Structures are given as C-alpha cells and as structure tokens.
Amino acid sequence: LSISTTPETLLSTSLLGDAASEAEESEEFILEEVEHRLQELARRVILRLKDSYALAPPRNGWDAVRRAEEMIEELIQKEGAQSLENLLKYIDVERYIQEQVSLFAEYVDEMYEAVYSRTDNRGLSELEPALMTLTAVKLLYFVALKDQRALWVAQKAAAILAALRALMKQRRFDIVAQLPQVAQEVLTRYFANINPEDRRRAS
Amino acid sequence: LRLYAFDVGAYVRAPLIPNLSGIVDGNLCVVTLAALQVFRHRLSKSLRYFLERHGDIKRSIVSSYHRHIRRRLNARQALRFLEEVRYRKEDEMLYTVLRAMLESPGLRETVGEYLDILLTQLDNTHNVIGILDVLYFLLKEDTFVPSVEHVLNHYLMITFPRCKIGVGADFKESIRNATRQNKGNNDDEEDIATLLSICGLNAGNADGITVVTTDHELEKALKKLQKDAGYCKTVSILLVS
C-alpha cells in the first residue's frame, strides 16, 4: 500500500480540510464581532462627544478635535479594549484596515458627487468644509496605512472624523469650517518628518 | 544628426508625447538651463496661483461644467478635463505635470515618498472637485517643484540616454521678472530666454538645432528673433502634441 491510499492518510486529509474551513469560518465570525464592537464604540464616541459639546461648546476646531481625541482614548481604555485586542489577534488587521480605508475613499467620492450635483451655492458653502475634512481624513488614514511609524496620524484622523460627525449633527458649521486647517496641520507635521528624505532625492 | 532642444512645454509633456522617442532616437537632445529655469518659475507660479484661488477655481468649474462633476472620472480623465477647462490659465501647468507623472508607467519607482502619496491619492479619487481638494492639501509641501523636476529629469535620462539636462547660459534674472499675462505678445520674456539659450548652444557635431515645442507662439518668437536680430539662423522649430 502506498502512503497516498492508506485510509489513515485519507482520513487525515479530510480532517485537515475541515480544520481549514473551520478556521476560515471562525475568522469571519471574529471579524463580524470586531466590526460590531467597533461600530458600537464609534456610536458611543459620537454620542458622548455631542453631549460634551452641548454642555461646553468647543472654542474652535482645534479644541473640538483635542476633546474628541481624549474621548476616544478614554472610551477605548474603559470599555473592553483588552478583549478587543484579544479578538484582533485572530484577524488580518492590516487587510481589514485597508478594506475599511478603501470603502471610506469610495464613500468620500460619493459624497462629492451627491453634494456637488444637488446642492445650491448657499448650501455648498456650508458643506464644502465638511467635504474637505473628509478628504483630509482619507489622506491621513492612507498615510498612516502606508507608514508604520505614523500611528499617531491615524489617531488624529479618527478624532477629526469624530469631531466632524458630532459637530455636523449640531450644525456647528462655524467650527466645522476650521477642521480642514486642523487636518492640514497634522499633514504638515507628518511631511516635516518625511521630507528630509525627499529633499535629498530632489536635489 | 540633429540636436533636439526641448522647450518647457515639451519638457513637461515628454512622457505624454507618443512619438517623441521616434523623433529623438539616434540624435542628440538637450534641455537648457534656461528651459529648466522657465519650468521652475512657471510651476511655482502655477502652484501659488492654485493655492491662492483654490476656492474660485472650484466654483468656476461647478458653475460652468455641472455634468462633468457628477460623472465618475478617474484621476487621468479629471486632470485632462482640468487641463482643457483651465487652458492658458496659470494653474494649467499643474494638471499637465501631474498627468504626465500619472501616465508614465515605470516612473512610480523613482518618485519620492511625498509624490508617491500624492499620486496614489489622485488614483484613489474619482471626482474632479475631489481631485482639486486632494491637491489643495498636498501641494502646500514646498518640495513639490524640485520633486517633479527630479522625476521628469529621470524620465528623460532613461528614455533618451544621450540627453543633456541643464546646459547653457543662466537666464534666471530675466525669467524671474517674466509674466505670462501678455502671452499673445511675441515678446514673452520666457520664450525669448529659452530661444536665446538654445541659439547660444554649441551644436558640436550635429548638423543643426531643432527646438521641440508644444506652443506655436514659440515659432513666432523665433521668426521675430531671426528677422529683427539676425540671430538663431540655423535653428528650426518642430511642433509636437
């Protein structure tokens, strides 16, 4: 009998197959769980941020983003960050983030098309800063995704996005109008670190 | 054997001109220092104009070209559209160089980290106004002009190994004061500086010099130089697009 025809090996290949498909299924399950928990966390961030902004209105865009950043950090530390981290061990985090960022990029494109084809000039001036903030957030996420050293950029992007969502719900367009500048400053700080390399190449 | 000298238009569009390698192949080629100086000057001005008028540019496109904004355009289509609708405006060159970089395969490995982020972001954006906003955030970096020059020079050196870049006389002073406002006027100082730098070249063992340009105004400027000053007699013009 050759090894490929022994019942034992046949049985083991079939067991292998089962184990493999189980692993796939469980990853999908964990991914769903991760997504669910993150969405829940995001919902709570916006909710609390709205309350906080209502209680003491942010002085400006920078203040709004700083408070969003603190709120996110606090919630993540309090609310089961450990269990979330445990779950993340079982999924391909990088691929997951990549997918989310490309979904977000598509969402931003759709927003542009919707806003610029349906909004009149007066409405545009209110919505343009929000759109530009979305573009900036997309840029920041993309930068963080490409550059392992730039985790802080992703954290800033999340805070800017949270602040944008809360402020839009409260129709605080005056402060939303400052968010593109907040994002620009983050980008400038990031490029100030990578540019020496580019400067050498360019000269 | 001819010496082909690129003016600024041919220089920035080199990756976009399909038959350029067929023309230059086997001959000599050159980008004069003056052409590079014109390039730096014009691209910096283009950049400044764009950043200062970003909102106005968006508004003028929204009010005049409604249906284009609704359509899903990829970055190349969007830049091409912008090049057309901003024709002869100061910001036009910006869209041209970005399209040139996006459309040349193989160029991506030579761009630095900053331009890579810029080009990838353009690729990831499918809306004309979205593209303008991406540019607004990324073009504030002061390395943009030298980075683009680095990439274009690299492209030329790979594509035309016998091309010399940055030779000839220095025209920085006269170019710095040049404006494009009286473009219809043959006395455009940038064109004259480019031509003078080319006419002053030593053709070496080449039979003559041909200026490669995308701008028919340059031919008028050359004729004027030849007629009025009796200068540049052996130089001819090749219009490409």
User: What is this model's ipTM?
Assistant: 0.86
The average pLDDT across B178-182 equals 53
Amino acid at B90: E
Distance CA B74, CA B82 (A): 12
Residues B171-179: contacts with CB within 8 Å, 24+ apart?
B171/B33, B171/B34, B171/B37, B171/B196, B171/B197, B172/B37, B175/B34, B175/B37, B175/B38, B175/B41, B176/B41, B178/B38, B178/B41
Residue from B206, B211, B241, B205 nearest B223 by CA? B211
For residue A144, the chain B residues in CB contact (below 8 A) are none
**A62-116: pLDDT as tens digits:** 999 999 999 999 988 887 667 777 888 888 888 888 899 999 999 999 999 888 8
Residue of B nearest to A201 (CA): B112
What secondary structure does DSSP assign to A149-163, as a single string? GGHHHHHHHHHHHHH
Contact criterion met (CB < 8 Å) for B113 and A142 = no
CA terminus-to-terminus distance, chain A: 71
CB contact under 8 A, B137 and A109: no
- A119 to chain B, any CB pair closer than 8 A? The answer is no
pLDDT tens-digit series, residues B24-74:
888 999 999 999 999 999 999 999 999 999 999 999 998 888 777 777 889
Band of residue B185 on the pLDDT scale cut at 50, 70, 90: very low
CB B199 within 8 A of CB B32: no
List, in sequence order, every beta strand (DSSP E) within B37-180: 163-167
Q: How distant is the Cα of B134 from the closest Cα of chain A, in angstroms?
A: 7
pLDDT higher than 60, residue B183: no
Do residues B94 and B43 touch, judged by C-beta distance below 8 A?
A: yes
Three-state DSSP state, B222: helix
> Measured between CA atoms, how close is B9 to chain A, in angstroms?
21
Residue of chain A nearest B131, judged by CA positions: A135
Is the per-residue pLDDT at B187 higher than 70?
no
Nearest-neighbour CA in chain A from B95: distance (Å):
19
Q: Give the residue ranges of chain A where pLDDT is below 70.
A: 1-25, 80-81, 195-203
Query: Is A132's CB within 8 Å of B136's CB?
Result: yes
